[in-house]
Structure 1
Amino acid sequence: AAIAKADAKLGVDEGQTRQHARLLFLLGIEQIIVGINKMDSCDWSETRYNEIKDEFIKMVTAIGFKPKKVPVIPYSGFNGDNLVTKSDKCPWYKGWKANLNPTTVVEGFTILDALDKLIQPPKRNPEGPLRLPVSNIYDIK
């Protein structure tokens, strides 16, 4: 699982948002949460939120993600709005809704809600071989 972040000022076209979303899909990550950060910088504009949300959903759909499984959450990391508790600064925001599976729909308002209700740990085979990532090799003499 991953949280894909878009900047309310820059949108989806600027920065590395598209590359990051494509890498997530290529790495086999199926569960993503889209967070639109810095909403305080655009005075919690509903128009700006919808603009970025529509653009982001179009992009992740083209990459291969299922849009009904992707919640889009406006937040401000600096002020803590919509991270743990619902913010009163965006009365227009009615929360997110996403399909957990074909028969179950989950809803919430915050990033924490999405992490708690939507993200499921991958199935692991406890009898399978142990695999560990290696990031560096040191030659000790």
Structure 2
Amino acid sequence: MSFARSIKVVGPAGVGKATSIGCMLFKYGGIPMDVIEVFQRDGITKYDQVPAKLATLKVVPTFDIPKYHISILDSSSDKKADCTILVISPDKLLENVNCDVKSMMAIQESDRIIILLNKMDIYDWSEAQFRKSKKEILDYLISLGKDITRVFIVPVSSTSGDNYIGTSLKSSWYVENSKPSATVLDALTSVLA
């Protein structure tokens, strides 16, 4: 039996939010076969093209993971999501989130937060860069009064799909919440429980 859950994916411009959504939909089987055929016909070949094309086709983006059927709400929707996923990158950390009203509102209304620290491939999967970014993110969430004990911060590359389903060897140093190398799938499963 699957439980219905919803997520909002937010983040400032240029961090790979659309790419992250497209990656999740493909990795977790959220693209129906007839839509894949449309993608092939229309030359949709990159993850970042997926959300816009689904919107023009009027297809609600959904996917399934063990135990949950997940709908991706539009980031401008007034509906409250069960979980907020904030996509950021080391080069566009929190100063940009503060300027992004949709991201700020979604984070403030959510008790379940996953941070995707995207574009880690550009930083050669640097553990030092990840730790620096993680500290800044956690300090920011604490300043908002958030309980950070259930926040997952996952280093990812949304263009290649690293750390979405399986653990990437490139981030073998990564441990989150006492769990070695949690993936986006692990984070979703834990946060939505």
TM-score (normalizing by structure 1): 0.69
- Matched-pair contact (CA < 8 Å) for 1:108–1:114: no
Q: Does 1:3 align with 2:76?
A: no
Inter-partner Cα distance in structure 1 for 2:136 and 2:190 = 25
**Match of residue 66 from structure 1:** 147
Q: CA RMSD in A?
A: 2.2
List alignment gaps of at least 5 residues for structure 2.
1-82
**Match of residue 84 from structure 1:** 165
Task: Summarize the Cα distance change of 1:18–1:117 in structure 2 as closer, same or farther, 3 Å threshold.
Answer: farther
Shift of 1:71: 1.1
% identity of equivalent residues:
26
Correspondence list, 1:51-130, <5 A? 51-94=132-175, 96-97=176-177, 109-120=182-193
**Match of residue 138 from structure 1:** none
Shift of 1:25: 4.0
Structure showing greater relative contact order (alpha-carbon pairs closer than 8 Å, 6 or more residues apart): 2
List alignment gaps of at least 5 residues for structure 1.
99-105, 121-141
Secondary structure at the counterpart of residue 169 of structure 2: coil
Which residue, out of 17, 35, 48, partners 2:116? 35
Q: Which residue type is aligned with residue 56 of structure 1?
A: I
Count of paired positions: 110
Greater helix share, structure number: 2
Task: Summarize the Cα distance change of 1:18–1:45 in structure 2 as closer, same or farther, 3 Å threshold.
Answer: farther
TM-score (normalizing by structure 2): 0.51
Which residue, out of 45, 64, 84, partners 2:126? 45
> Rg bigger for which structure?
1
Inter-partner Cα distance in structure 1 for 2:127 and 2:180 = 19
